[in-house]
Structure 1
Amino acid sequence: MPVPKILGLWAALLAASGLLAYGLSSAHFPAALLLGPMLAAIVFGVRGAPLRIPKPGFQGAQAMIGCLVAHAINAEIAGTMLDDGLLILLVVLVTVLAGGLVGYVLTRMRVLPGTTAAWGSSPGGAAAMVAMAEEYGSDPRLVAFMQYVRVAAVVLSASVVARLLTEPSAASGADTMPVQAIPALSVLITLTVAAVGAGIALALRLPAGALIGPMVLGAALHATGLASLVLPPALLDAAYATIGWYVGLRFTRETLRETFHALPGILIATVAVILLCAGWAFGLTRILPIDFLTAFLATSPGGLDSVAIIAVGAKVDVSFVLAVQTLRLFVVLITGPLLAKWIARAAPPDKTAG
C-alpha cells in the first residue's frame, strides 16, 4: 500500500482514538486513553486496515507502564507478598484453574481442536502463550485470537466495573503521574531505568520482561530514594495508546474469517473465565479486608500491563493487584505446558479416524 495511504490511515486511527478517549474520559472511565485507542483499533483492524504496532514500539510502551507502576507501588508490593503470600498464591491458583476448567470444557465439547483450548484459555501472558502454543503444535492464529479477545474483554469489563465503583472525582486525574514541575534530569533517569530494566529482563527472557524489568528496577530505586521516577503526561498518553492499538489491531478480518466457526465458543469461554474470576473476587472480599474493585482487578485474567493501567487510574490497592498479577503470570508460564497436556488427554477420540 502506498505510504501516503498508510499515513492517512494512521491519521484517521489517531483521530478516532482521540475522540473515543475524550468521550470515555468525559464519562470518567479509568484508562480512557487505553480503552479508546483499543476500541478504535479493533474497528480499523476488522475493516482490513493494514496497520501494525512494531514489537519494539509495544515493548517501549510496556517499559513506560512499568515505570508508572514502580512509581505507584514503591516498597509495598514486597510487604504484601510477605504478609499475604499464601493467600496470593491461592488467588493465583484459583484463577489458573478457572482458565483450565474452561479449556477442558471447550475441548470436551470439540469447540476447539487439540490443545488450542488450553493455550487460548490460559489466563495471562498472551504473547508468551501464543509463542509456546506454536512450539507445542497448536494453531497459533486461533490461540492468538482467543488470547486477545480475552485481553480486550478484560479491559472492557475492568474499565466498566472501575467506572461503576470509583467516584468520578477520584478517577478523573489518576491516569498519570502527579507532576507539578517536570525536572529534565528526573525524566532522563526514568527513561534510563526503563531502557536498562527492559534490556536486562528481555536478555534474561523473563515473561513480559519489557514491563516487569523497569517495574522491579524502578520500584527498588524509587522505594530506597535513590531515584525519583517522573514521566511527562504526553509520554504516558502515547504509551497507553500504543498498548491499546497493539491489542486492537490484532483483530483482523482474516482472523475473524478463520475462527468464525469457533467464535461463539471463544466468546462463551472468555465470559466464563471473567465471571469465574469475578465470583472468586467476591469471595476474597469476605476473607481479606479489601474492596471488590481491588479483588476484581487482582483476579482479572490478564493482561498485566492493561490491568496495571486501570489499577493505577482507579486508586485501588495497587500493590496487592500487581503482586497477584505478576505471580500469576509466572505460574501460568510454568504450568501452561502441563495443563495443555492434561486437557489434550481429556479430548474425546476422533470417531472419524480409522
Structure 2
Amino acid sequence: MSARPTRESAVSWIILATLVAGVSILLTIAGFPSALLFGGLLGGLVFALATGRTVAVPGWTFTIAQAIIGVTVGASVDLDVLADLGSDWPAVIVISVVTLLLSVLAGQLLRLHRGVTPVTASFASVAGGASGMTAVAHDLGADDRVVTVIQYLRVLVVLLAMPAAVSMVFDADTGTAAGAVSPVTTTAGVVYSVLAVGLGLVAGRVLHLPSPAVLGALLASVALGAVPVFADVDVPVWVQAVGFLLIGLQVGLRFTLDSLKAIGRMLPTALLVIAIIIGTCAAFGVLLAELTGVSELDAYLATTPGGLYAVLATSADTGGNVTFVTAVQIIRLLLVLLAAPLLGQWLTRRER
C-alpha cells in the first residue's frame, strides 16, 4: 500500500525540481533580479496550478531559509561604515524614517482591493528590504504572495529606471553597474554562515524575538562579524541561493488560481504605489543632499528604494561616495527589519 504513494511523491518532487530549475536558469540567463527566488516562486506556482499534485515541504526548511536571509542582511552591516556618517546621522535617520512611513501610507491604496489587509498592504509597499519582507511576511500575518510579487516588482522597476536616471538626470556614465557583486565562496564564509544560522535560531527563541529566525540570525551575524577571523567574510553565493530558492518555493506552492487573479487585478494600483514611492524617495534624496552636502547623485542612490547591490555597483562605477550610499541603505534596511515585527503586531491588533 505504501509503494504507490512513495512513487507518486517521488514523481511530484521530480516534476517540481524540474520546473524550479528550468525557470531559475531562464531567469538567470535573462538577468532577472533575485532569479532563484522567483525561480522557486514561479516553479512552485506552475506546479501547484498545473499539476494538481501536492508536496510536503518540511517546515524547518523555511525556518533555515529565513535565517539565511537574516545572515545575508547582517553580513552587509559594517560598523565602521556606519560610524563614518559622523554629523550626518540625524539627517539620515529622520529621512529614512519619514520615507518608510510615507511608503507604508502610500501602500494603503492596495486596500482598495478586496482581501488586502493593512499589514499586507504595509509590508508590500515598505521601501527597501524586499528579501527581508518576503521572509517575515507570513510570520507576521501578511499574505506573503502579495508581498513578494509587489516588493520585487518595485525592485525590477528600480533596476530598469536607475540607469536612465543616472545618465539622463545626473549626466553620469554607468558602465556595467547593473551587475551585483558576488561574494567568493571560502571555508571561512561557510563556517560563518553555519554558525550565524545556528546561533541565530537559538538566540531568536531564547530572546523571544518577533520573527526569531530572521532577527536572531541578523544579530548573530553582526556579532560574529566583530570577531577578527570573520571580519571580511561574506555569505557564499550558494548559501544565499538556498535561502532565496526555499523562500520562493514556499510562497509559490501556496498560490491558487483565485489568489493569482486577485494579484493580477491589483497590479495597476501596485504600479501607482511604486511610482509614488520612487518619486517620494527621489524627492527626499534632494533634501538629503542639501542637508549633508553630498552630491545629488549620491543622495539619490542612497535613498533608492531597492536593488541594494545594483545601487552600490552604480555608485562605485560612477565614482560616487560609496561609503555614504552604503551606510544610508544599510540603516534603512535595518530599520525596516527591526520595525516590521512591531508594525505587524500593532496593525494586527488594531484590525482585530
Q: CA 1:189 to 1:20, structure 2 compared with 1: closer, same or farther past 3 Å?
A: same
Q: CA deviation at 1:286?
A: 0.8
CA positional deviation for 1:282: 0.7
Gaps of 5+ in 1: 134-139, 301-306, 346-354
Aligned equivalent of 1:334:
342
Amino-acid identity (%) = 21
Q: Given that residues 189 and 227 in structure 1 are in contact (C-alpha distance below 8 angstroms), is that contact kept between their aligned partners in structure 2? A: yes
Report deviation, 1:200: 0.8
Q: Which string of whole-angstrom CA distances, capped at 9 and with x for unpartnered residues, describes residues 78-104 of structure 1?
A: 43787434543443344334433542x
2:30 to 24, 35, 54: 24
Counterpart of 1:91 in structure 2: which amino acid? S
* 1:271 is the counterpart of 2:279: no
> 2:70 aligned with 1:66, yes or no?
yes
- Residue by residue over 1:23-64, the C-alpha shift from the partner in whole angstroms, topping out at 9 and shown as x without a partner, is 124xxx554444444444444444356357544223323333
Counterpart Cα distance in 2 of 1:81 and 1:203: 33
* In 2, Cα distance between equivalents of 1:34 and 1:311: 20
In 2: Cα distance, 1:219 partner to 1:156 partner: 28
Q: By how many angstroms is 1:197 displaced?
A: 1.8
The gaps in structure 2 that reach 5 residues or longer are 127-132, 167-172, 289-293, 317-321
Q: Which residue of 1 aligns with 2:300?
A: 292
* Equivalent position SS for 1:206: coil
| Distance in 2 (alpha carbons) for counterparts of 1:248 and 1:129 | 14
Tell whether the 8 Å contact from 2:27 to 2:35 is kept in structure 1 after alignment: yes
CA distance in 2, matches of 1:35, 1:41: 9
Which residue in 1 is equivalent to 2:217? 214
Supply the distance in 2 between the matched residues of 1:76 and 1:88 (Cα, whole angstroms): 17
> Displacement, 1:323?
1.7
Deviation string, structure 1 residues 254-301 (Cα, Å, up to 9, x no partner): 5336xx4x852x32442233222101211132123335344223xx5x
Closer, same or farther: CA 85–31 of 1 in aligned 2, 3 Å: farther
Matching of residue 238 in structure 1 with residue 242 in structure 2: yes
Match of 1:190 among 169, 188, 193: 193
The alignment of Structure 1 onto Structure 2 pairs a total of residues equal to 312
TM-score (norm 2): 0.69
**Alignment-mate amino acid for residue 197 of structure 1:** G
Q: Deviations over 1:168-191 (max 9, x none)?
A: 6445461x3135xx23x5532431
Letter in 2 for 1:178: V
2:291 aligned partner: none
Deviation at 1:335, TM superposition (A): 3.9
Contact 1:128/1:207 (<8 A) preserved = no
Query: What SS is found at the alignment partner of 1:50?
Result: coil
Aligned CA-pair RMSD:
3.9
1:197, 1:210 within 8 Å by CA — same for their partners in 2? yes
Counterparts of 2:73 and 2:139 in 1: how far apart (Å)? 26
Given that 2:95 and 2:284 are in contact with CA atoms closer than 8 Å, whether structure 1 keeps it comes out as no
Map of 1:12 onto structure 2: 18
Aligned residue type for 1:11: A
Cα deviation digits, residues 114-137 of structure 1 (max 9, x gap): xx431221135466555555xxxx
Q: 1:324 aligned to 323, 332, 339, which one? A: 332
CA distance in 1, matches of 2:36, 2:234: 19
Cα distance change on mapping 1:45 and 1:88 into 2, 3 Å: farther
1:249 aligns with 2:248: no
Higher mean alpha-carbon deviation, 315-324 vs 77-86, is at 77-86
CA 1:155/1:246 → structure 2, altered by over 3 Å: closer, same or farther?
A: farther
Structure of higher RCO (CA pairs closer than 8 Å, 6+ residues apart): 1
Give the drift of 1:195.
1.1
Letter in 2 for 1:99: V
Q: Indicate conservation of the 8 Å contact 1:31/1:159, yes or no.
A: no
- 8 Å CA contact retained: 1:102, 1:121: yes
Give the match's secondary structure for 1:6. helix
Post-superposition offset of 1:196? 0.3
User: Which AA in structure 1 matches 2:10?
Assistant: P
Matched residue of 1:122: which SS? helix
2:97 matched residue in structure 1:
92
